[in-house]
Amino acid sequence: MDRIVLLPPGELRLPPSRRSVDLLKLVDQYRRFGPDVATMPPIEGTRCKDGILVINNGVTRATRAFRFGGPGVLVPVVVTGERLRRDVRHLPRVSDP
């Protein structure tokens, strides 16, 4: 069953298919929504080994929240599945440069 948790966006891991954010999408989202993260749809993620969450959908939203949301911002993440044996510590975080 899906459940929603609130997390700091910088701690979320990028999926293997994405090594960084699409800057054009990021600029477009910021232009449309500004720094407001309260009204954005939740990010979808999978819980992996050690409780680390990997983004399934919402890399740009997580990056916008991290860069422009201010200190202490938390984002809603819908945990859509668990792969508790999958080690994802090697994947970059949203907060990584």
CATH fold of 3-83, please?
3.90.1530
Over residues 49-78, the pLDDT tens digits come to 999 999 999 999 999 999 888 889 999 999
In this prediction, residue 20 has a pLDDT band, given cuts at 50, 70 and 90, of confident
Question: In this structure, are strands 75-83 and 3-7 parallel, antiparallel, or unpaired?
Answer: antiparallel
Residue 18 pLDDT: 84
- CA distances (Å), origin 6, targets 11, 23, 35, 37: 11, 25, 17, 12
What is the rounded distance in angstroms from the CA atom of residue 71 to the CA atom of residue 15? 24
Residue 26 pLDDT: 87
pLDDT over threshold 80, residue 5 = yes
pLDDT over threshold 70, residue 93 = yes
Helices marked H in the chain: 23-33, 59-68
Class of residue 5 by CB neighbours under 10 A (exposed 0-12, middle 13-18, buried 19+): middle
Note the pTM of the prediction, 2 decimals.
0.87
